[in-house]
Amino acid sequence: MSQLLIYTLVLALSETVAMTALTKYSRSANMYYLITGIVLYGIITPYMIIASLNYSGIGTVNLLWNITTTVSMIFIGYYFFNEKVNHLHLVSLLLGVGSIFILYMADDK
56-78 pLDDT tens trace:
888 888 888 888 888 888 888 88
Alpha helices in 54-86 (DSSP H): 58-80
Note the pLDDT of residue 101.
80
pLDDT of 31: 94
Q: State the Cα angle at 93 between 10 and 48, rounded to 5°.
A: 15
Is 55 within 8 Å of 7 (Cβ atoms)?
yes
DSSP string over 4-59: HHHHHHHHHHHHHHHHHHHHHHHHH--HHHHHHHHHIIIIIHHHHHHHHHTTS-HH
Query: Please, which pLDDT band fits residue 109 given cuts at 50, 70 and 90?
Result: low
Domain count for the chain, please give it: 1
User: What pLDDT digit, counting tens, does each position of 18-55 carry?
Assistant: 988 999 999 998 999 999 999 998 888 888 888 888 88
